[in-house]
Structure 1
Amino acid sequence: MRYLKIVLVGLILIGSYNCKEAKKEASEAAEEMEETMEEAVEVEMISFKMEPKSESGVTGEVTFVQENDKISMVGTFSGLTPGVHAIHIHEKADCSAADGTSTGGHWNPTAEPHGQWGQEGGFHRGDIGNLTADANGNARIEFSTDLWCLGCDDENKNIVGKAVIVHQGTDDFTTQPTGGAGARVSCTGIIK
């Protein structure tokens, strides 16, 4: 009987130790999961339709995805004339004018000259560049940068409250302050 009591006490101690060890492991796993969640990628997305301007019939959709400190933009368009067209971010999310001029000029919070993105001599934060429409008038553009953000406190980076404009012509990257891109044929405000 005494042997049985010793075995029973031993089993209780082992069980108690195993429970304590299991609780400790569970607690460590929970802490590790919490740390992983804190390091998780923050992703935010906005998507919107483009509306025709200047009697063009140009439509499309633009999506901005912010992943941590980088924004990726994807735009698809239809109704363009075949060839090269400029695309920019403009100052105001106001597409009320029939010709899109209610959006103001290119978004340029750092007061740089107009130019090609990333090139010496400066560029507007809104100087995205050009896209090419195929023979059917369809075009797609992909663009990424860490110089934009969605709703952050840095007014030199925050694109919320701005507009996307597609132009009739090509951005020559030199004509000031617009790149000589011509009429505004499609517009949307970036409204979060």
Structure 2
Amino acid sequence: MKIIFKLPLAAMSLLAVVSCKEVKKEANDAADEMEEAVEEVKQEVMAQSIKFMMEPKSDSDVKGEVTFTEENGTVKMMANLSGLTEGEHAIHIHQTADCSSADGKSTGGHWNPTNEPHGKWGAEEGYHKGDIGNFVADAAGNAVKEFETDQWCIGCEDENKNIVGKAVIVHQGIDDFTSQPSGAAGARVSCTGIIQ
């Protein structure tokens, strides 16, 4: 009789151990899935994007849109433009989100919160936080300019990085990266204010 009772008891013990391991594995798998889901939500919260339409200035036909996306401490700018003359043009961030004047000069000078000389982005001699650089328009007058940096933010409290309240300006000519204070890039042919 004792043997009959011991075998079912041993089998039940073994079944309980196996069941506990399976339950623990399922709990761990569920915890891993939950952690991945939380991480995805965090990344979505950390990524923000703002888009603005560029408007013609200085009797030009230059228009388009510019998008800024911030994710994990880096801001990416994507500008899609049309109505340009074929060739190189400069694009900068200017200090004031005010495109009200016909010539775009209501935006003020380049955004330069650290009081550096004008120059090419990353130059040892210095550069403005708004010194994005040049891009090339094709024969049809279309262009795309992409730019990415960890020296900007969208709406953060660091005024040396925050692009909100500034403007994007496209110029008729090229930035020579040396002329002060703005690279001698010529007329302002398109403008948008970065307002969140």
TM-score clears 0.5: yes
Give the secondary-structure state (helix, strand or coil) at the position aligned to 1:14: helix
SS in 2 for 1:13: helix
Identify the residue that residue 115 of structure 1 maps to in structure 2.
119
Gaps of 5+ in 1: none
What is the rounded CA distance, in whole Å, between the counterparts of 1:53 and 1:8 in structure 2? 89
Moved more, 50-59 or 4-13: 4-13
Identity %: 58
Q: Does 1:12 align with 2:5?
A: no
TM-score of the superposed pair, with normalisation by structure 1: 0.87
How many residue pairs were aligned? Answer: 192
Distance in 2 between residues matched to 1:63 and 1:29, nearest whole Å:
39
Q: How big is each residue's C-alpha offset from its partner over 1:100-130, in whole Å with a ceiling of 9 and x where there is no partner?
A: 2222211111110111111121000000011
Give, as a single letter, the amino acid of the residue that structure 1 aligns with 2:99. Answer: C
Shift of 1:159: 1.2
Aligned to 2:146: 142
Distance in 2 separating the partners of 1:31 and 1:54: 59
Alpha-carbon distance in 2 for matches of 1:11, 1:153: 65
SS at match of 2:132: strand
Q: Which residue of 2 aligns with 1:87?
A: 91
Question: Of 92, 99, 107, which residue of structure 1 is paired with 2:103?
Answer: 99
Q: Give me the whole-angstrom Cα distance separating, in 2, the residues matched to 1:138 and 1:162.
A: 24
Matches within 5 A, 1:35-184: 35-36=35-36, 37-38=38-39, 41=43, 42-184=46-188
- Which structure 2 residue ranges, 5 or more long, are not aligned? none
* Residues 38-61 of structure 1 deviation map (CA, whole Å, 9 limit, x = unaligned): 497543222222111122111112
After superposition, the Cα gap between the structure-2 partners of 1:5 and 1:49, relative to the gap in structure 1 and judged at 3 Å, is farther
2:170 alignment partner AA: V
Q: Distance in 2 between matches of 1:95 and 1:26?
A: 59
CA RMSD of aligned residues (A): 2.3
Measured against aligned partners, the alpha-carbon deviations of 1:112-152 in whole angstroms (never above 9, x if no partner) come to 01111111210000000111112211111121111112222
CA gap of 1:14–1:160, structure 2 versus 1, over 3 A, is farther
